[in-house]
Amino acid sequence: MNEQEIYQLLEEKYDQFNRKSFIEPDPIAIPHLFSKNEDIEIAGFLSATIAWGQRKTIVKNAHSLVELMDMAPYDFVLNHSEKDLKRFDNFKHRTFNSIDLNYFICSLRNIYLNHGGLEHTFVADNMQLGIGNFKKTFFSIDHPSRTTKHVSDPLKNSSAKRINMFLRWMVRKDNRGVDFGIWKNIPTQNLMCPLDVHSGNVARKLGLLKRTQNDWKAVIELTESLRKMDVNDPVKYDFSLFGLGVFEKF
């Protein structure tokens, strides 16, 4: 395929997969249960955190998580008592368990009360620094050492796939009803493409990515390739790469 053909394919698939019908079987369905910005971002952050494994299981577990928070994530984060956290004792998704979840709730409260909210912790000149700053703030209170592995760090060359996906949800605004676009202080053109096995394989087949490892260097290379097609919104093609990989087995 030449560059024009690749561009046309990605545009076509972006249009095909960036639709409301995409929401239901995807983890983004969970923040779509809410209308208040803080509820959306907390539900989105927790759903993105456990977004590995089978999509059906991710959505089921993320749904039970917000139900355990009385379908009011922001109110629960701000006003929970120690006793309230016991309701999470049996929660588990892969290696993410109640110890991790309890800390996440406490850390989110600290962020809303003392650091100007979740969006504020990500604001930086670029997303590598932004995610690095967020992780530093997130673990700035006493925490179990096991929990740090559940927040990726691109400053250590992690692809930070789930955080980049969460940032796409919060920042991109295109009025198509999938991404929320509720965060105003991070430019869409600064977003980095979520990179996983599926999107990485498709990107390599299309010649958009040469690096063989799915790490932060690969994220930079892929996003730079996508910027050549849309400098203002390169991450819109995450829909195309993911759709081609997961739904069309490209």
Residue 136 has what DSSP assignment?
A: H
67-83 pLDDT, tens per residue?
999 999 999 999 999 99
Q: Phi, psi (5° rounding) for residue 158?
A: -75, 145
Outline where DSSP puts E strands in 80-141. 92-93, 96-97
Tokens of 240: 């195309």
Q: pLDDT-based confidence at 18, cuts 50/70/90?
A: very high
pLDDT for 230 beyond 90: yes
What pLDDT band is residue 4 in, cutting at 50, 70 and 90?
very high
Q: Which residue has the tokens 């494994």?
A: 53
Confidence of residue 249 (pLDDT cuts 50, 70, 90): confident
What is the per-residue pLDDT for 64? Answer: 97
E strand or H helix at 93: strand 92-93
Q: Which of 230, 227, 192, 224 is nearest to 211 (CA)?
A: 224
Q: What is the pLDDT of residue 148?
A: 97
> What's the pLDDT at 248?
86
Per-residue pLDDT of 152-205, as tens digits, reads 999 999 999 999 999 999 999 998 999 999 999 999 999 999 999 999 999 999
Question: Amino acid letter at 100?
Answer: D
Spatial distance between the Cα atoms of 202 and 212, rounded to a whole number of angstroms: 12
- Type and span of the H or E element at 92: strand 92-93
Instruction: Tell me the pLDDT of the chain averaged across its residues.
Output: 97
Residue whose structure tokens are 């922001």: 74
pLDDT of residue 250: 86
pLDDT, one tens digit per residue, over 85-127 is 999 999 999 999 999 999 999 999 999 999 999 999 999 999 9
Per-residue pLDDT tens over the stretch 204-222: 999 999 999 999 999 999 9
